[in-house]
């Protein structure tokens, strides 16, 4: 039984040669003078919406109602290494809380590992109803088969409607395995999640290279799996009161059968070039002395970023050549670039125009850099940068940060 | 003890450009000049297989792709790099496949023509960008999988020792075959297609597998019907091309900049 198919009505075609143009994936072909749809079709339905009237039709048969009512709750997989919880887990719990406000249902955590009870206790402060703990020495290191077995046990027993997994290397290996085991859908790297009152999850992610956004649904299967990268959702604040509980789950020895032996856990080499940095502080000609770079280094450190510079500072020997941005240096695409005292010569701009957010500090309101920057900070960098550093440092441990976070929450809600 | 190692590599044809743009006036997609190419991440999967073949005599490499008939081009390209055999899974019934249906279809093709000792996939495709097909395929083949493989340090007919990227660490592990690896970009430098091999393989067939050739004949497991997810709609991204000028007193500007950093989550705990 076919539930949906694309049908072409040849009698409504006025110009056969034009038809392939309506498909961004080249799935519409002309074979022996007849139009046909190939396996390249992604069912994006653009041909139905944008094609010549009546030529493309999406035929959907009446679907049998399916029982989704047995699935309830939002589960967050706890990403951790040796009990150190990855912050993406808290971000997902924050989102789960928002979703549960619209479609009331319990929030669960799934915590698999060894020596994780203390960490589980701490998680109770994050608006969770029940933390399901699978703890065993065999689960000390991530191995796909035992972790999948415990995860599958949790899904089969609890039947959550939604499963959120951090888009880390482990999460992205684990989530698809489970989605396949339950023959259900998984949407990777969602940038936005919304929920209908009936619990249907709207998963938004960039598609086809990021120039188009796709709204993806999992209409007929459960759970609805989604992975989300770190720092996509805001970090929630811990609650003063804990209402949830911890459930220690029994394990079965056959889960530990694995073809994988972990030999060694090694530190990650921390060689990070400016090309890989998510945050870059770029210094320009307005920096006069090597010691003035210190405040920019400090700012970079506070934002977990890297220092970079324009050519004049490289030539003056103030900054290493591998930190040069521009045509004769490196091309960078950080999430945030803060330029400090850079006028914005074409050669420099060529190396940074792909940056996601560009904040530029320059004393000259006519500076070329302000034609590129998203945020134009007109003023003296020797005043703005120290004032900014001071605020960031304060925020690390005082309420001002919490207030700012809260303000940002309200704006987003 | 196996005498011959049989490797399957899964590859995909993707648009040569990632820019899919909608004409704002007509609402029609701009397709002019869009060519196709082999997914760049798959080059590393192919190269990994070819290195193993060079290290273990008697290894054979088979590539699989799912897609329209013109995807045959990328199998020819794999032949030019040194791959022995290739299958294209192509049928109108596969149209509209999401990750679940794609993985199922590939698994069926591999089951039909295997068994294979080792399946190698690239990290992700440049068009779908999900990095999920390898893991789901391994589940359907009922074999373990290792993602983010950075190095293969030892290998023999029965096992591999690999290094993998984890969020905070690297893990070195031994995996007994059969298994699936998803390799990182840069694991080995991919070779260029060879002109000599192009001539030598010009007549080598690319075999096509249709739904009727696969072990599972249930049409509901393929294409749109076999897909768990559906694209409800697609829409242009919100452009965040704001331009804001702050030219007040420096202290006020610093405060605004600080609030922007908070809002942009640049001050969240980092690891």
Q: Which of residues 141-180 of B touch A (CB under 8 A)?
A: 143-148, 161, 163-177, 179
What are the CA-CA distances from residue A244 to residues A49, A130, A162, B234 (Å)?
Answer: 48, 5, 19, 39
CB-CB neighbors (< 8 A) of A148 in chain B: 139
- The helix/strand/coil state of A98 is helix
| Residue B45, pLDDT score | 96
Span A43-47, average pLDDT: 76
8 Å CB contact of A266 and B172: yes
DSSP for B39-75 reads -HHHHHHHHHHHHHHHHSTT-EEEEEEES-GGGHHHH
8 Å CB contact of A21 and B31: yes
User: Does domain A74-256 bear CATH number 3.40.50.720?
Assistant: no
In this predicted model, what pLDDT tens digit does every residue of A116-141 receive, in sequence order? Answer: 999 999 999 999 999 999 999 999 99
Q: What is the dihedral of CA B70, B72, B76, B79, to 10 degrees?
A: 160
| Residue A235, pLDDT score | 83
* Summary mean pLDDT of chain A: 87
8 Å CB contact of A4 and B225: yes
8 Å CB contact of B164 and A264: no
Higher pLDDT among residues A35 and A337, named by residue:
A337
End-to-end CA gap in chain A: 43
CB-CB neighbors (< 8 A) of A218 in chain B: 228-230
What are the CA-CA distances from residue B189 to residues A305, B43, B184 (Å)?
Answer: 29, 9, 11
d(CA A367, CA A360): 10
Least confident of A208-222, B209-223, B248-262: A208-222
Q: Among B101, B135, B100, which residue's Cα sits nearest to residue B119?
A: B135
What residues form DSSP beta bridges with A337? A280, A358
* A305, A278 contact by CB (below 8 A): yes
* CB neighbourhood size of B261 (10 A): 23
- Strands B6-10 and B60-66 turn out to be parallel
Is a pLDDT exceeding 90 seen at residue A84?
no
d(CA A381, CA A393): 18
d(CA B259, CA A43): 42
HSE-up of residue B70 (Cα within 13 Å, Cβ side): 17
8 Å CB contact of A39 and B138: no
CB-CB neighbors (< 8 A) of B35 in chain A: none
CB-CB neighbors (< 8 A) of A268 in chain B: 165, 168-170
* CB of A275 less than 8 A from some CB of B: no
Counting one residue from A and one from B, how many pairs have CB atoms under 8 Å apart? Answer: 353
Higher pLDDT among residues B2 and B62, named by residue:
B62
DSSP for B180-245 reads EEEEPTTSSPPPPPPHHHHHHTTT---EEE-GGGSS---GGGSTTTT-S-EEEEEEPPPP----EE
Q: What are phi and psi of A399, to 5 degrees?
A: -70, -25
Q: Minimal Cα–Cα distance from B196 to chain A, Å? A: 31
User: Does domain A274-395 bear CATH number 3.40.50.1220?
Assistant: yes
d(CA B163, CA B151): 5
Q: What are phi and psi of B133, to 5 degrees?
A: -60, -40
Residue A47, H or E segment: helix A46-50
Is a pLDDT exceeding 90 seen at residue B15?
no
Span B43-65, average pLDDT: 95
| Residue A239, pLDDT score | 87
* CB of B270 less than 8 A from some CB of A: yes
Is a pLDDT exceeding 70 seen at residue A3?
no
| Residue A97, pLDDT score | 95
Taken in order of first residue, the domains within chain B and their CATH numbers are 6-221 (3.40.50.620)
Interface with chain B: mutation pick from A40, A269, A278, A361, highest number of B CBs within 10 Å: A40
Q: Which of residues 244-263 of B touch A (CB under 8 A)?
A: 244-247, 249-251, 253-255, 257-263
**ipTM metric:** 0.86
Least confident of A66-70, A347-351, B1-5: B1-5
The answer to whether the pTM exceeds 0.95 is no
Is a pLDDT exceeding 90 seen at residue B102?
yes
Under DSSP, the state recorded for A269 is: P
**Banded pLDDT at A45 (limits 50, 70, 90):** confident
Write b or e for each residue in B70-100: b if 16 or more Cβ atoms lie within 10 A of its Cβ, otherwise e.
ebbbbbbbbbbbbbbbbbbbbbbbbbbbbbb
Higher pLDDT among residues A311 and A147, named by residue:
A147
- A4-60: CATH topology is Alpha-Beta Plaits (3.30.70)
| Residue A380, pLDDT score | 94
Tokens matching residue A195 = 């929920």
The answer, yes or no, to whether the previous bond of A223 is cis (omega within 30 of 0) is yes
* CB of B57 less than 8 A from some CB of A: no
d(CA B231, CA B247): 44
Length of chain B (residues): 271
In this predicted model, what pLDDT tens digit does every residue of A160-205 receive, in sequence order? Answer: 999 999 998 899 999 999 999 999 999 998 989 999 988 999 999 8
Q: Considering Cα of A115, then A121, then A126, then A131, what sign does the dihedral take?
A: positive
* CB neighbourhood size of B220 (10 A): 12
In this predicted model, what pLDDT tens digit does every residue of A96-121 receive, in sequence order? Answer: 999 999 999 999 999 999 999 999 99
Percent of chain A with pLDDT over 90: 55
Taking CA B133 as the corner, what is the angle to CA B128 and CA B139, rounded to the nearest 5 degrees?
A: 165
What are the CA-CA distances from residue B174 to residues A170, A194, B45, B134, B151 (Å)?
Answer: 17, 41, 19, 19, 12
Domain ranges of chain A: 4-60, 74-256, 274-395
Q: Minimal Cα–Cα distance from A213 to chain B, Å? A: 5
In this predicted model, what pLDDT tens digit does every residue of B128-146 receive, in sequence order? Answer: 778 899 999 999 999 999 9
* Common-topology check for domains A4-60 and A74-256: no
* CB of B40 less than 8 A from some CB of A: no
CB-CB neighbors (< 8 A) of B143 in chain A: 259
What are the CA-CA distances from residue A21 to residues A16, A47, A249, B91 (Å)?
Answer: 10, 9, 55, 21
d(CA B101, CA A382): 58
């Amino acid at each position: 039984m076919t539930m949906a198919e694309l049908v072409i009505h040849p009698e409504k075609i006025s110009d056969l040669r034009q038809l392939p143009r309506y498909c961004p994936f080249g799935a519409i072909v002309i074979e022996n003078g007849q139009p046909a749809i190939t396996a390249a079709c992604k069912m994006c339905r653009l041909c139905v919406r944008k094609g010549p009237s009546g030529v493309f039709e999406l035929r959907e048969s009446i679907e049998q109602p399916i029982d989704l009512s047995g699935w309830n709750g939002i589960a967050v997989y706890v990403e951790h290494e040796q009990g150190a919880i990855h912050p993406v887990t808290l971000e997902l719990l924050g989102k789960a809380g928002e979703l549960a406000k619209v479609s009331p249902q319990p929030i669960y955590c799934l915590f698999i590992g060894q020596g994780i009870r203390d960490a589980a206790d701490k998680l109770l402060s994050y608006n969770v109803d029940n933390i399901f703990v699978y703890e065993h020495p065999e689960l000390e290191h991530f191995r796909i088969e035992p972790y999948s077995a415990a995860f599958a046990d949790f899904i089969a027993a609890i039947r959550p409607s939604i499963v959120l997994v951090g888009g880390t290397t482990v999460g992205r290996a684990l989530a698809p395995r489970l989605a396949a085991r339950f023959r259900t859908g998984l949407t990777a790297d969602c940038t936005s999640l919304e929920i209908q009152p009936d619990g249907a999850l709207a998963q938004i992610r960039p598609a086809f290279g990021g120039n188009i956004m796709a709204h993806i649904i999992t209409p007929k299967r459960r759970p609805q799996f989604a992975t989300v990268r770190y720092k996509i959702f805001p970090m929630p604040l811990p609650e003063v009161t804990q209402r949830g509980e911890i459930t220690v789950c029994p394990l079965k020895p056959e889960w530990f059968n694995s073809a994988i032996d972990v030999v060694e856990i090694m530190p990650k080499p921390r060689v990070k070039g400016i090309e890989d940095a998510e945050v870059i502080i770029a210094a320009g000609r307005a920096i006069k002395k090597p010691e003035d770079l210190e405040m920019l280094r400090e700012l970079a450190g506070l934002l977990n970023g890297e220092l970079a510079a324009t050519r004049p500072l490289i030539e003056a020997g103030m900054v290493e050549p591998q930190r040069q941005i521009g045509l004769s240096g490196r091309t960078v695409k950080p999430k945030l670039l803060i330029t400090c005292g850079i006028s914005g010569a074409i050669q420099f701009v060529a190396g940074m125009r792909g940056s996601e957010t560009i904040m530029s500090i320059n004393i000259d309101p006519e500076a070329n850099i302000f034609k590129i920057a998203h945020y134009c900070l007109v003023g003296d960098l020797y005043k703005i940068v120290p004032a900014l550093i001071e605020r960031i440092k304060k925020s690390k441990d005082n309420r001002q940060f919490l207030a700012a976070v809260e303000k940002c929450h309200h704006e987003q809600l | 003890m196996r005498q011959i190692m049989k490797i399957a590599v899964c590859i995909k044809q993707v648009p040569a450009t990632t820019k899919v743009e909608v004409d704002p006036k007509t609402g029609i997609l701009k397709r002019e000049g869009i060519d196709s190419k082999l997914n760049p991440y798959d080059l590393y999967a192919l190269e990994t297989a070819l290195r193993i073949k060079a290290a273990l005599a008697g290894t054979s490499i088979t590539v699989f792709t799912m897609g329209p008939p013109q995807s045959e081009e990328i199998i020819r390209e794999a032949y030019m790099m040194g791959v022995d055999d290739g299958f294209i899974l192509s049928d109108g019934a596969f149209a509209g496949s999401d990750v679940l249906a794609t993985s199922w279809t590939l698994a069926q093709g591999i089951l039909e023509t295997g068994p294979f000792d080792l399946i190698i996939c690239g990290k992700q495709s440049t068009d779908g960008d999900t990095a999920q097909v390898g893991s789901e395929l391994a589940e359907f083949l009922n074999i373990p999988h290792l993602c983010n493989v950075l190095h293969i340090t030892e290998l023999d007919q029965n096992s591999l020792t690999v290094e993998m990227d984890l969020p905070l660490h690297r893990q070195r592990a031994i995996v007994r075959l059969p298994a699936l690896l998803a390799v990182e970009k840069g694991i080995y430098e991919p070779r260029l297609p060879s002109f000599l091999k192009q001539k030598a393989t010009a007549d080598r067939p690319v075999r096509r597998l249709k739904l009727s050739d696969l072990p599972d004949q249930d049409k509901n497991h393929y294409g749109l019907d076999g897909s768990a997810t559906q694209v409800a709609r697609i829409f242009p991204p919100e452009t965040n091309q704001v331009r804001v000028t702050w030219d007040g007193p420096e202290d006020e500007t610093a405060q605004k900049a600080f609030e922007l950093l908070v809002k942009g989550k640049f001050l969240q705990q980092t690891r």
